[in-house]
Amino acid sequence: MDQLIDLDAADEEAARVAAAPKRQGFLPIVTNWFDRLFIGIYLFVAIELLWMRFLEQAIPLTGAHVLALVLGVLIIWKG
């Protein structure tokens, strides 16, 4: 069976999708919430390891936990 496609309606829908506002965050890539969660977890581990290597003698590891959690929440929320 031959089906007819309304090309004008398809063009209007494509224009509407293209004109939809995209989420603007501070990350330079297009991400969804799971991508930002992954980046936050990766950053958490990196901060913890760097903190233990360079700062743990002077500042307790609790500081790294707080800093990593704040940055993770910021990335997930605003990233």
1 pLDDT exceeds 60?
A: no
> What is the pLDDT at residue 12?
81
44-48 CB contacts, 8 Å cutoff, 24+ apart:
44/68, 44/69, 44/71, 44/72, 47/71
Dihedral pair phi/psi, residue 56, rounded to 5°: -65, -30
Q: For residues 50 and 55, what is the distance between their CA atoms, to the nearest angstrom?
A: 8
pLDDT tens readout for residues 17-76:
665 566 678 888 888 999 999 999 999 999 999 999 999 899 999 999 999 999 999 999
- In the prediction, which pLDDT does 74 show? 95
| 4-26 pLDDT tens trace | 777 787 778 777 766 556 667 88
Domain definitions of the chain by residue range:
26-78
For the chain, how far is it from start to end, CA to CA, in angstroms? 48
